[in-house]
Amino acid sequence: MFTLTYVYADSTAVLGPLAAYVEPHCYDLCAMHAERLTAPRGWEVVRLPADNTTGGPGSDDLEALANAVREAARPPSARNPVGQGVETNRKGHLRVVKSEPRSKDQPPGPSTRGS
């Protein structure tokens, strides 16, 4: 058995040993279908070794590779920081942080009226 993971942002299909747990957007394939797998034109297929007797990557390695590719493909956060927070109080590992007022050159953030 094999697990197939698509990384759409990189146009890559990763095919490797059966994953240890079920995850969305991963597909388990039998040996026959894994062998016949083709990808759309312009896509790359990364085939990881199926057996671990050669010292190659295992299912944890496939999972780590897929997670790393997903993380790299994530778009950067669209939110702009409002300002630098100032710690006003602390109790154990919890902190109370107060935002500094905006400078005049910072764009206005979401409205807090009516809350």
Measured at the alpha carbon of residue 69, what is the angle toward residues 2 and 20, in degrees to the nearest 5?
35
Task: State the average pLDDT over residues 29-52.
Answer: 86
Is pLDDT of 112 > 60?
no
Q: Using the Cα atoms of residue 81, residue 86, residue 92 and residue 94 in order, give the sign of their dihedral.
A: negative
pLDDT tier at 115, thresholds 50, 70, 90 = very low
10 pLDDT band, cuts 50/70/90, is: confident
Residue 78 has pLDDT above 50, yes or no: yes
* Domain ranges for the chain: 2-73
